[in-house]
Amino acid sequence: MKHTVVLTAAFPAVARQLLAGEFDVIEHPTEHGRDEDDMIAILAEADAAITLLSDPLTRRVLASNPHLRIVANFAVGYNNVDVDAARELGITVTNTPGVLTEATADLTLALILATTRRIVEGDAEIRATGRCEWEPLKLLGLSLQGRRLGIIGMGRIGTAVATRARAFGMEIVGVRRGEPLDELLETSDVISLHLPLNATTRHIIDAAALSRMKTGAVLINTSRGPLADEAALCDALERGHLSGAGLDVYEDEPEVNPRLLAMSNVVLLPHIGSATIEARTAMATIAATEVLRFLRGEKPRHAVV
């Protein structure tokens, strides 16, 4: 009897192409806001699953189907998975590292430029007025040359961002996980977050950290929303301590804080850090190949559990 592989969303076609020849594949449409009961129903027939970062893979969900043997998370992160439960239940968990580094680094630079040069504000003005009126003091932004970029998390993506920023003449100060942030917070003109989300990194940028940032600094987050205390960030933006922020991720996804929506100096993107054809295809290839290898009795290459 064929194994059943469940795809919890509409993934690039390569995922089905790799799996359909050997296994029964059940595909579900992409949906937001799924709860545990939704996931239990979706995974009821699964021997293996390719899942989204937004899918809650709690102990209850993982334990609901004794036939579930592998979860291939379509992401680098896996904070949606109860890894302790997976380990205890003998369920392998894999991720998709490496292939989204360049796409996410590109988007980080795009957010830095869009925020410091007020690109979204300019676009909105043109669309609202239908006119392009040059003025000496209109939409003055920050030049990147000679500015200091503080990178919190000098892994693959953080390092790729540093390479790009140096080409714009920026000075780089970077810290790895667990290293002190004092100098970085106090001296950086732009701070970019590139950490996984866990108990030690949640709200690493809190009210105290924000208060230590330079007046007029910019915060960029293309990593995980809860790395920053969003309420404290809104406070810092509203009182003018920070000049702007560029965000691709949010603390309560899929919801976005209404205070952020009201700020013209904040650039907001819908979690598209890896959204290039090349990166998403590579992610689907890795996830499907991990499932393929596992169900053939081979060892996955990117197991986190």
Predicted confidence at residue 166, as pLDDT, reads 98
31-65 tens-digit pLDDT? 989 999 999 999 999 999 999 999 999 999 999 99
Q: Single out the catalytic residue among 34, 118, 147, 224.
A: 224
Q: Among the options 36, 253, 259, 302, which is catalytic?
A: 253
Cis peptide before 254 (omega within 30 of 0): yes
Q: 90: exposed, middle or buried (C-beta count within 10 Å: 0-12, 13-18, 19+)?
A: exposed
Taking only the tens place, the pLDDT of each residue in 125-156 is 999 999 999 999 999 999 999 999 999 999 99
Of 264, 268, 266, nearest to 125 (Cα)?
264
3 is catalytic: no
What is the set of domains in the chain, with CATH numbers?
4-99+277-295 (3.40.50.720), 101-268 (3.40.50.720)
For residues 53 and 73, what is the distance between their CA atoms, to the nearest angstrom? Answer: 7
Q: Edge-to-edge strand order for the sheet containing 48-51?
A: 24-27, 4-7, 48-51, 70-73, 92-94
DSSP state of 226: G
CA–CA gap between residue 217 and residue 105 (Å, rounded): 20
Mean pLDDT in the chain? Answer: 97
N-to-C CA span, the chain: 27
Asked whether residue 250 carries a pLDDT value surpassing 90, the answer given is yes
The answer to whether residue 253 is catalytic is yes
Catalytic residue among 59, 241, 271, 293: 271
